[in-house]
Structure 1
Amino acid sequence: MAEESEFRVLHTMIRVFDLDRSLDFYTRILGMKLLRKKDYPGGEFTLAFVGYGDEASQSVIELTHNWGRKEPYVLGDAFGHIAIGARDIYVLCDKLKEAGGKVVREPGPMKHGTTHIAFVEDPDGYKIELIQMEGE
């Protein structure tokens, strides 16, 4: 078995239908930074990496946009959600709604526990769990 320090989660990739709309959601609404973006004309796709910190030390999200796609992606039922810790999910959800974000589970204690959570959806319908960070 490998040592823990030999591995690190680098990124999670999700396919997005409208890259500009997704970038707006992840940067303006969720406060991430666009870390890098590159077009691949030969493959007819664009990759955009967003996150809260440098890829050298933080896990990020890769938004993959395939050019010429006519219909939104079908998400299926195997993928669960992306989780993001926040200082005050109650204030954040209010800000998200004011900015046009979709809150699909209002903030409150999780079932069978005491941790406070909320869920929002990105423009493609991916669920994002907001978790109240301990001690915040």
Structure 2
Amino acid sequence: MKMAHTCVRVKNLEESLEFYTTAFDFTESRRRDFPEHKFTLVYLTLPGDPYELELTYNYDSEAYDLGNGYGHIAISTKDLEGLHEKHKEAGFNITELKHLPGVPPSYYFIIDPDGYKIEIIREK
């Protein structure tokens, strides 16, 4: 077995596509429109990684309540400080670099347009 994809529901498909392609270099790998059922699925991948992020857009939805169960997804990078600076300069909603006790800074969080937290971690 292997992981296939993670789904997040988005209220504005174009805004979310702009965020994920600009912030992380995701590219659209496929799209499935179901106008008769009023939803669209867009699958995104990172270069060299087949794992997909599925953006689900329900035409008539205004927003989603993230509740208290969602934590975050994580994306690793070899250049943590460089990506952090890119996100800061672009004006994205990010935290400062963080660390666990006794460890140098190794992660930060960015928030997408729907309020989903994404942890950016230093690639090991």
Fold in common (TM above 0.5): yes
Partners of 1:25 and 1:78 lie apart in 2 by 23
Give the Å deviation of 1:106.
1.2
Q: Which has the larger radius of gyration?
A: 1
In 1, Cα distance between equivalents of 2:67 and 2:34: 27
Runs of 4+ more than 3 Å apart: 111-115
Aligned residues: 124
**Matches of 1:88 and 1:109, distance apart in 2:** 16
Q: Deviations over 1:86-110 (max 9, x none)?
A: 112221122112223210x211323
State the TM-score, normalizing by the size of structure 1.
0.83
1:113-128 map, 5 Å = 113-114=103-104, 116-128=106-118
Give secondary structure in 1 for the equivalent of 2:50. Answer: coil
Residue segments in structure 2 that go unaligned for 5+ positions in a row: none
Give the superposition deviation at 1:28. Answer: 1.4
Q: Please tell me whether residue 85 in structure 1 is matched to residue 76 in structure 2.
A: yes
The match for 2:10 is 16
What residue is the counterpart of 1:41 in the other structure?
35
Q: Give 5+ residue unaligned stretches, structure 1.
A: 1-6
AA in 2 matched with 1:65: Y
Correspondences of 1:1-136 after superposition (within 5 Å) = 7-53=1-47, 58-69=50-61, 71-103=62-94, 105-111=95-101, 113-114=103-104, 116-134=106-124
